[in-house]
Structure 1
Amino acid sequence: MKRNPRDLEHSHKILNRRSLVLGGLQLAFVGGLAARMRHLQVDQADQFRLLAEENRINIRLIPPARGEIFDRNGAVLAQNTPSYRITMVREDAGDVEKVIANLQKLVPLDPEDLERAMAEMRRSPPFLPITIADQIGWHDISRVAVNAPALPGVTPEVGLTRVYPQMEDLAHVVGYVGPVSDYDLSKIEDPEPILRIPRFQIGKVGFEAKSEDMLRGKAGAKRVEVNATGRVMRELDRREGQPGADMQLTIDTDLQFYLQARLGNESAAAVVVDCESGDLRAIASSPSFDPNLFVRGISVADYRGLTEDPYRPLANKTVQGTYPPGSTFKMITALAALEAGITGTEETVWCPGHLEVSGRRFHCWKRAGHGHVDLLNSLKQSCDVYYYDLALRVGIDKISDMAKRFGLGVKHNLPMSAVARGLAPNKAWKERVHGQDWLIGDTANASIGQGYMLASPLQLAVMTARLATGRSVTPRLVKSINGVEQPDGAGESLGVNENNLRTLRRAMYAVSNDRRGTAYRSRIIADGLRMAGKTGTSQVRNITAAERAAGVIRNKDLPWERRDHALFVGFAPFDDPKYAVSVVVEHGGGGSTAAAPIARDIMLQALYGETPPLSAYPKKDRSHIQALQERLQRESPPRKADGSDRA
Structure 2
Amino acid sequence: MKRTNKDNETSISRVTRRSLVLGGLQLGVAGVLGWRMRQMQVEQADEFRLLAEENRINMRLIAPERGLIFDRNGIPLAENAQNYRVVIVREDAGNVEDVLNRLRQLIFIDDTEMERALKEISRRSSFVPVTVTDQRTWEDISTVAINAPALPGITPDVGLTRNYPLGQDYAHVVGYVGPVSDYDLSKIDDPDPLLQIPKFQIGKTGVEQKYEPDLRGKAGARRIEVNAAGRVMRELDRDPGVPGADVQLTVESKLQNFAEARLALGLSAAAVVMDVRTGDLLTVANAPSFDPNKFVRGISVSDYGELTENKYRPLANKAVQGAYPPGSTFKMLVSLAALEDGLLSSDETVYCGGYTVLGNRRFHCWKRGGHGRMNLDQSLQQSCDVFYYEMAQRVGIDRIAELARKFGIGERFDLPMSAVTAGIMPDKDWKRSRYGEGWLVGDSLNASIGQGYVLSSPLQLAVMSARIASGNAIQPRLVKSIDGIETPVVGADPLDVNEGHLRLIRKGMFSVMNTNRGTAFRSRIDRDDLRMAGKTGTSQVRSVVVSNSDVPWEQRDHALFVGFAPYDDPRYAVSVVVEHGGGGSSAAAPVARDIMLYALHGELPPLESYPSGERGRVEETFAALELRSDFRPSRSGRSPA
TM over 0.5: yes
Report the CA distance shift for 1:225/1:436 in structure 2 as closer, same or farther (over 3 A): farther
Partner of 2:575: 582
1:153 shift after superposition: 3.8
Q: Could you give the per-residue CA deviations for residues 413-463 of structure 1, whole angstroms, max 9, x where no partner exists? A: 111111111111111111112221111111111111111111010010000
Partner of 1:215: 215
Listed as ranges, the matches of 1:81-160 within 5 Å are 81-148=81-148, 151-160=151-160
1:239 shift after superposition: 1.8
Partner of 1:296: 297
Aligned partners of 1:112 and 1:299 also within 8 Å: no
Structure 2, unpaired ranges of 5+: 1-26, 633-641
Partner of 1:80: 80
SS class of match (1:156): strand
1:495 shift after superposition: 2.0
Partner of 1:184: 184
Instruction: Give the RMSD, CA atoms, in angstroms.
Output: 3.1
Q: Which amino acid aligns with 2:160?
A: L
1:353 shift after superposition: 1.2
Rounded Cα–Cα distance in structure 2 between residues aligned with 1:104 and 1:237: 32
SS class of match (2:135): strand
Q: Does 1:636 align with 2:637?
A: no
Q: Which amino acid aligns with 1:164?
A: Y
SS class of match (2:630): coil
Aligned partners of 1:275 and 1:490 also within 8 Å: no
Partner of 2:319: 318
Q: Could you give the per-residue CA deviations for residues 227-270 of structure 1, whole angstroms, max 9, x where no partner exists? A: 99999786543222110111111111000000000001421000
Partner of 2:372: 371
Rounded Cα–Cα distance in structure 1 between residues aligned with 2:135 and 2:319: 33
Partner of 2:635: none
Rounded Cα–Cα distance in structure 1 between residues aligned with 2:100 and 2:54: 34
Q: Could you give the per-residue CA deviations for residues 133-162 of structure 1, whole angstroms, max 9, x where no partner exists? A: 211223333344445455454332211111
Q: Which amino acid aligns with 1:412?
A: F
Q: Which amino acid aligns with 1:291?
A: P
Q: Which amino acid aligns with 1:156?
A: P
Rounded Cα–Cα distance in structure 1 between residues aligned with 2:421 and 2:352: 35
Partner of 1:15: none
Q: Could you give the per-residue CA deviations for residues 74-122 of structure 1, whole angstroms, max 9, x where no partner exists? A: 1110001111112233455555445545544554434433322221011
Q: Could you give the per-residue CA deviations for residues 587-630 of structure 1, whole angstroms, max 9, x where no partner exists? A: 00110110000001001010000111111111121112112223
Partner of 2:165: 165
Listed as ranges, the matches of 1:216-295 within 5 Å are 216-224=216-224, 235-264=235-264, 265-295=266-296
SS class of match (1:409): coil
Rounded Cα–Cα distance in structure 2 between residues aligned with 1:519 and 1:111: 59
Partner of 2:16: none
Partner of 2:559: 566
Report the CA distance shift for 1:400/1:41 in structure 2 as closer, same or farther (over 3 A): farther
Q: Which amino acid aligns with 2:444?
A: T
Partner of 2:405: 404
Aligned partners of 1:356 and 1:362 also within 8 Å: yes
Aligned partners of 2:167 and 2:292 also within 8 Å: yes
Partner of 2:618: 625
1:639 shift after superposition: 6.4
Q: Which amino acid aligns with 2:431?
A: K
1:306 shift after superposition: 0.5
Q: Does 1:534 align with 2:535?
A: yes
Rounded Cα–Cα distance in structure 2 between residues aligned with 1:404 and 1:229: 70
Q: Which amino acid aligns with 2:288?
A: P
Partner of 2:333: 332
Report the CA distance shift for 1:54/1:312 in structure 2 as closer, same or farther (over 3 A): same
Rounded Cα–Cα distance in structure 2 between residues aligned with 1:394 and 1:601: 36
Rounded Cα–Cα distance in structure 2 between residues aligned with 1:428 and 1:469: 31
Q: Which amino acid aligns with 1:618?
A: P
Structure 1, unpaired ranges of 5+: 1-25, 544-551, 641-647
1:360 shift after superposition: 2.1
Superposition TM-score, scaled by structure 2 size: 0.88
SS class of match (1:161): strand
- Count of aligned pairs between the two proteins: 607
Q: Which amino acid aligns with 1:555?
A: N
163-172 or 473-482: which moved more? 473-482
363-372 or 225-234: which moved more? 225-234
Rounded Cα–Cα distance in structure 1 between residues aligned with 2:596 and 2:111: 48
Q: Could you give the per-residue CA deviations for residues 310-345 of structure 1, whole angstroms, max 9, x where no partner exists? A: 011011001011101010001111111111111111
Aligned partners of 1:531 and 1:571 also within 8 Å: yes
Rounded Cα–Cα distance in structure 2 between residues aligned with 1:438 and 1:41: 87
Rounded Cα–Cα distance in structure 2 between residues aligned with 1:225 and 1:442: 76
Q: Could you give the per-residue CA deviations for residues 347-380 of structure 1, whole angstroms, max 9, x where no partner exists? A: 1111111112233221111111111111111111
Rounded Cα–Cα distance in structure 2 between residues aligned with 1:518 and 1:110: 60
Q: Could you give the per-residue CA deviations for residues 454-478 of structure 1, whole angstroms, max 9, x where no partner exists? A: 1010010000000001001111111
Rounded Cα–Cα distance in structure 2 between residues aligned with 1:110 and 1:404: 56
584-593 or 358-367: which moved more? 358-367
Report the CA distance shift for 1:388/1:567 in structure 2 as closer, same or farther (over 3 A): same
Partner of 2:62: 62
Report the CA distance shift for 1:358/1:116 in structure 2 as closer, same or farther (over 3 A): farther
Rounded Cα–Cα distance in structure 2 between residues aligned with 1:344 and 1:635: 48
Aligned partners of 2:329 and 2:561 also within 8 Å: yes
Rounded Cα–Cα distance in structure 2 between residues aligned with 1:170 and 1:531: 27
Report the CA distance shift for 1:112/1:445 in structure 2 as closer, same or farther (over 3 A): farther
Partner of 1:197: 197
- Identity between Structure 1 and Structure 2 (%): 62
1:226 shift after superposition: 7.8
Rounded Cα–Cα distance in structure 1 between residues aligned with 2:124 and 2:628: 46
SS class of match (1:318): helix
